[in-house]
Homo-oligomer: A and B are copies of this chain.
Amino acid sequence: MSIIDAAASVFCREGFAGANIDLIAVEAGVSRQTVYNHHRDKEKLFMAVVRDLTERCNAGIFATFASFPDQPRDLEADLIGFAVRMNQNCICNRDGRFLRKLIQTEGERYPELFAEWQDQGPGRTWPALAARFARLAHAGHLAIDDPDVAARQFLALANAELQITFMLGGMPSEDDVLQSATHGVRTFLRAFGKRRSAAAVEKQLASA
């Protein structure tokens, strides 16, 4: 395991103050001095960890975006699949859990570092997801007013039942992820799906 990986693990488990450089060195399989050679001090090491995690998470998120159902065959099933992949590959995986925890625990202590994360992370991924939903709406598959709002609500709904697990830093089971995604997507489609509205049917009735 690389020094950065070991450091990520220890920083997450113990917090910045509680993290022990000796332990990081042991876990990385190197001597303490090597840690200090590569990364000047504890704080620099921490920054390197956050940057590394942000980068890898972003890569995972954009890779998963590539599987967004732009031309859905079964909209509900396709969106559920996408939500599940999003969770499994980006939010619940090692990097995602670690990054989230570091942001939560140390975010206030390093404003500039996490401002950078916000720009590079959500600042780039949210609009990208919103654009996908906008295209889906434009193609007639959804009825969306504000794609940015819809994108945030999509993720919020897909994770609605995993909140407590996330809070405690745990890893939800595959079943939990699937169930939360299923319920979330169903509600999302009840809100934004393009069933013929009652008004449209009435109009059709009137013209008949």
Binding site for B on A (CB under 8 A): 13-18, 100-101, 103-105, 107-108, 114, 118, 122, 146, 149, 152-153, 155-157, 159-161, 163-164, 167-170, 183-184, 187-188, 190-192, 195-198, 200-202, 205
Q: Which of B15, B118, B201 contacts A201 (CB 8 A)?
A: B201
Counting every copy of the chain, the complex holds 2
Which listed residue, B100, B168, B187, B191, touches A103 by the CB 8 Å rule? B168
Residues of chain B lying within 8 A (CB to CB) of residue A168: 103-104, 107-108, 114
Describe A's contact surface by its main secondary structure.
helix
Residue in chain B with minimal CB distance to A202: B201
Q: Which residues of B contact A122 (CB under 8 A)?
A: 164
Give CA–CA (A25, B178) in the complex, Å. 48
Smallest CB separation, A40 vs chain B (Å): 21
- Chain B residue numbers with a CB within 8 Å of A183 are 146, 149, 153
Complex Cα–Cα for A91 and B145 (A): 28
- Do A118 and B169 have beta carbons less than 8 Å apart? no
Q: Are A156 and B160 in contact (CB under 8 A)?
A: yes
Are the CB atoms of A15 and B17 closer together than 8 Å?
yes
Q: Please, how many angstroms separate the alpha-carbon atoms of A170 and B114 in the complex?
A: 12
Q: Determine how close the nearest CB of chain B comes to the CB of A32; give it in whole angstroms.
A: 19
Expressed in whole angstroms, the Cα–Cα distance for A50 and B146 within the complex equals 40
| Contact residues in B for A164 (Cβ distance below 8 Å) | 118, 122
Query: Which residues of chain B come closer than 8 Å to A17, judged between CB atoms?
Result: 14-15, 17-18
Please indicate the chain B residues that have their CB under 8 angstroms from the CB of A184 in the complex: 153
The contact of A18 among B18, B108, B149, by CB within 8 Å, is B18
**Could you say which residues of chain B place their CB within 8 Å of the CB of A159?**
156
CB < 8 Å neighbour of A198 from B101, B153, B187, B196: B196
